[in-house]
Structure 1
């Protein structure tokens, strides 16, 4: 590829963002172009024919064009603009019941045919060590189909000046509101992916994602203390229409404003500066047991780490341990049919079709039609996340459609779907939930976290913390983190707000595998209450 070293953003401290930079640098106008579908089908057919001629019982071809733009700013200056394009073909085959994979950036018919032959040769070599043949769940070919993220405005077609002007306005507004430093960024992604297989599918998909992270810092010049507040608008599977400076957001109890289908980055920067300044004056939390009211801007990360990763089937089986370890949620717990992952208020589901989510596609990278399925139903563990060659392990007749590769040059494998907490079934607002809390903490925004290699013991921080006493928010507090054991935590869930409060957070660069790959995934929820959770004081913990 063409895979570059991670670019570490300067000044990010312990929470440094790592930017995966792919492909070759290109001019911005190249990002707005597409490949001809007929040409891609012709190329794919060459690969399919070459693979089957050389002994493949199955073959799939992914022709990918991956486009990315990063616009990085600080205060009154643009630090970097990066436009990248990566193009090529990945070919996966089964020969003698064994996988083989090869990739090429050569788009000539000869180059593609050679890569297909190489994939079959690799499979034949691997088959000498294969003890059990690959079992693929059946997939019915769909012929020629196409799908596109339902965007209003293609981010890649927006002039660079307009993007820079937005970020400069964001930075200026934050500085005027009291920030000492601000870093703001736009991450824009377009994956143009063509999939073909010997099952008879020829699928063209055009996937768009957008993220606008920022970090606002304020300093008490008398003491040298500083506080930060990051953005409360998460990444989305949308076009540039997501960045709408007319959006008023959603006002929460305590005064914070969060965002749903549109993100006003300027207003959020102003609020971030003021709230970070308030952090400097906020009282430090007293450690102890509290009832926690967790906003979706915070809860998405807890879901990601304590549900999404441990219910990936390859981790459960011990086939995968990179980045996130294996899993406490072993097969015997699922087989018992009564393992209480959470309380009866908790239904957690996997989904690849929810509109505006980062993981939304019509077909996964194995050509499987995507959908939704329950992982935890009314508190009981009922399923995992599995792909075509794993489905038989669970007795499934078909894949769940959660296979993905982050590049044409990497082989596709099982990745986390959008994993979300279902909204409460009875009407309940955030304000009504807080009214019933006697001694609690309201947490907004994601922060630092730590979790063990079994996804069992964990600790989570946040962005904003508000004390709740006798059903009332009393004051903003600081230095809060809570500790959990995954099943105990989800069994402590006593209430979930209804669908009116349902919102998404997500991860733009979720790492897995070796060699490592990243994927983008959303997690939805309404605000939820968890009773009797242990809270520590992070300032005291750090000494």
Structure 2
């Protein structure tokens, strides 16, 4: 998965224009097969023990086994027709070992005892070959064996149990709203994912997890005066079941946008999007200059992702992750000073693998470490990075932070970002209250195109819809807006954050990283936030 694919897929409605290549994810299956129970836990434990025993017999000092069944379904439509329905299943085992102080990994879809034993032996062979060229042996943070444990996403309705027809009907009903409202093109999709993962290790852990994620999305396009404008759906990908598409009461800010907290009203959002894309055709083009920005969580999640979450990944900090979207401007020296001013005093950012409803929420990571929550930025100061078992000693940690992940059973697990979120303001503050204090500003909703340099420092971000704020009031829609800043300058310009009542999650199914590339599903939460004196450019004007 190439870098930034998550943005491209989001813009396309995850299959609304071109279906994902499920041949990369598994074998096509009938939708009803997704509802069949996976392999019994006792059988998976027996198979895992075969792998652990074979690895130790060949000289491994540590081994872990991941037996995975991965289910994917995408339903996509365009205007008044179904564009595609795809269902895929992938099943196999990945075995990672330490032998002679080095890592080794092998995987297979041969799920017989003999096949699994041979895969474990191959992993040890790889480790011993790697050991000849390593500069120092692997230092693995201790992890107490957990015995037999399990975790499941607390869903109400399994998305795979909902008939394809019901999903098609919902999407086509939404499309009809857009077409009736004058849209020239509309595409929509629903993507469901279920990861059934079993982990075992020589530490004595046997962990069974059942993880569910859902992503509804659409794009509305309207043509006028020889130009076209689009608006994407504001629904977020979530770690929830199909209940996410059961709408609840809505609230509005300045009569502009419907907000969704724990549920998403696809039809209402489609109606709003159609009206807004019509307004975008005649919206005033922005005048470049300095503005106070009021950023909605549906927009701010992406800025957090690129300028906070990625640069605090320890492998980027150390330069291990360099040729895949760069390293990080943050360094170990900046952390060690305990004084590096990443943002203003009200900026508090946490890493959290437990947050309900988030894409990254699991009970245990892919090293069998119980997941947790920890501070990255505290009162504006950089206080920590993201690390896994073989990195913990570099930060002087006694245990892993539990953020190791592999996208499938046949990929080796490595450090992936957890949910990284800006904490709500501590004082009671609504979005309306925040806007009242802005004399010259722009209110930005939804994520758009972006660029950021190879150290996650200098950046530019666009959005979906933009509203001019003049003397504390919304003065109308703008277009051609993008803002530029560097990471430290931007987060130090944060002067207000709405309270927890406005806190919402955004996120991506496909955060790319690594060579060869892997994808990670991750959420980023925030409340609406204000940033003063940010440079805004007009994207339609030639420089």
Which secondary structure does the structure 1 equivalent of 2:42 belong to?
Answer: helix
Retained in 2: the 8 A contact 1:233–1:258?
no
**Residue of structure 1 in register with 2:290 after alignment:** 289
Q: CA deviation at 1:173?
A: 1.2
Q: CA deviation at 1:252?
A: 2.0
Retained in 2: the 8 A contact 1:309–1:324?
no
**Residue of structure 2 in register with 1:403 after alignment:** 404
Q: CA deviation at 1:96?
A: 0.7
Which secondary structure does the structure 1 equivalent of 2:87 belong to?
Answer: strand
Which secondary structure does the structure 2 equivalent of 1:334 belong to?
Answer: helix
Alignment deviations for residues 57-116 of structure 1 (CA, whole Å, 9 cap, x no partner): 000000000000011110011111110000000000000110000001001000000000
Q: CA deviation at 1:224?
A: 1.7
> Size of the alignment, in residue pairs?
533
User: 1 or 2 for the larger relative contact order (CA 8 Å, sep ≥6)?
Assistant: 2
Equivalences for 1:191-210 in 2 at 5 Å? 191-210=195-214
Alignment deviations for residues 437-459 of structure 1 (CA, whole Å, 9 cap, x no partner): 11100001101100001000000
Give the Cα separation in 2 of the matches to 1:122 and 1:81: 39
**Residue of structure 1 in register with 2:87 after alignment:** 83
Q: CA deviation at 1:254?
A: 4.5
**Residue of structure 1 in register with 2:151 after alignment:** 147
Q: CA deviation at 1:191?
A: 0.2
Counterpart of 1:27 (choices 15, 30, 38) is 30
Give the Cα separation in 1 of the matches to 2:289 and 2:237: 33
Give the Cα separation in 2 of the matches to 1:18 and 1:304: 25
Give the Cα separation in 2 of the matches to 1:43 and 1:49: 10
Retained in 2: the 8 A contact 1:70–1:188?
yes
**Residue of structure 2 in register with 1:489 after alignment:** 490
Equivalences for 1:216-295 in 2 at 5 Å? 216-220=220-224, 223-244=225-246, 246-295=247-296
Give the Cα separation in 1 of the matches to 2:10 and 2:425: 42
Matched, 1:182 2:183: no
Point out the more displaced range, 344-353 or 252-261: 252-261
**Residue of structure 1 in register with 2:52 after alignment:** 48
Which secondary structure does the structure 2 equivalent of 1:126 belong to?
Answer: helix
Q: CA deviation at 1:10?
A: 13
Retained in 2: the 8 A contact 1:492–1:531?
yes
Alignment deviations for residues 468-526 of structure 1 (CA, whole Å, 9 cap, x no partner): 11111111111100001000000000011110110000011111111110010000000
- Counterparts in 2 of 1:363 and 1:88: CA distance versus 1, 3 Å: same
Which secondary structure does the structure 2 equivalent of 1:136 belong to?
Answer: coil
Point out the more displaced range, 246-255 or 415-424: 246-255
Give the Cα separation in 1 of the matches to 2:347 and 2:478: 28
**Residue of structure 2 in register with 1:111 after alignment:** 115
**Residue of structure 2 in register with 1:423 after alignment:** 424
Matched, 1:359 2:360: yes
Give the Cα separation in 1 of the matches to 2:393 and 2:33: 43
Q: CA deviation at 1:323?
A: 3.7
**Residue of structure 2 in register with 1:330 after alignment:** 331
Give the Cα separation in 1 of the matches to 2:323 and 2:175: 37
Retained in 1: the 8 A contact 2:19–2:84?
no
Retained in 2: the 8 A contact 1:249–1:263?
no
- Counterparts in 2 of 1:18 and 1:96: CA distance versus 1, 3 Å: farther
Alignment deviations for residues 146-168 of structure 1 (CA, whole Å, 9 cap, x no partner): 11000000001111111111111
Give the Cα separation in 1 of the matches to 2:459 and 2:123: 41
Equivalences for 1:341-380 in 2 at 5 Å? 341-380=342-381
Q: CA deviation at 1:12?
A: 4.8
Which secondary structure does the structure 2 equivalent of 1:344 belong to?
Answer: coil
Alignment deviations for residues 356-411 of structure 1 (CA, whole Å, 9 cap, x no partner): 00000000000000010000000000000000000000000000000000000000
Q: CA deviation at 1:292?
A: 0.3
Which secondary structure does the structure 1 equivalent of 2:268 belong to?
Answer: helix
Give the Cα separation in 2 of the matches to 1:524 and 1:9: 20
Structure 2: runs of 5+ lacking an equivalent? none
Alignment deviations for residues 265-324 of structure 1 (CA, whole Å, 9 cap, x no partner): 111111111100000011000000000000000000000000000100000100012442
Alignment deviations for residues 15-43 of structure 1 (CA, whole Å, 9 cap, x no partner): 98883531110110111122211111111
Retained in 2: the 8 A contact 1:253–1:430?
no
Alignment deviations for residues 117-157 of structure 1 (CA, whole Å, 9 cap, x no partner): 00001101111111100000000111001110000000011
Give the Cα separation in 2 of the matches to 1:333 and 1:356: 33
Structure 1: runs of 5+ lacking an equivalent? none
Which secondary structure does the structure 1 equivalent of 2:540 belong to?
Answer: helix
Retained in 1: the 8 A contact 2:324–2:515?
no
Which secondary structure does the structure 2 equivalent of 1:346 belong to?
Answer: coil
- Counterparts in 2 of 1:381 and 1:124: CA distance versus 1, 3 Å: same
**Residue of structure 1 in register with 2:215 after alignment:** 211
- Counterparts in 2 of 1:492 and 1:17: CA distance versus 1, 3 Å: farther
Counterpart of 1:168 (choices 144, 152, 172) is 172
Q: TM-score, normalised by structure 1?
A: 0.96
What is the RMSD computed on CA atoms of the aligned residues? 1.7
Point out the more displaced range, 20-29 or 102-111: 20-29
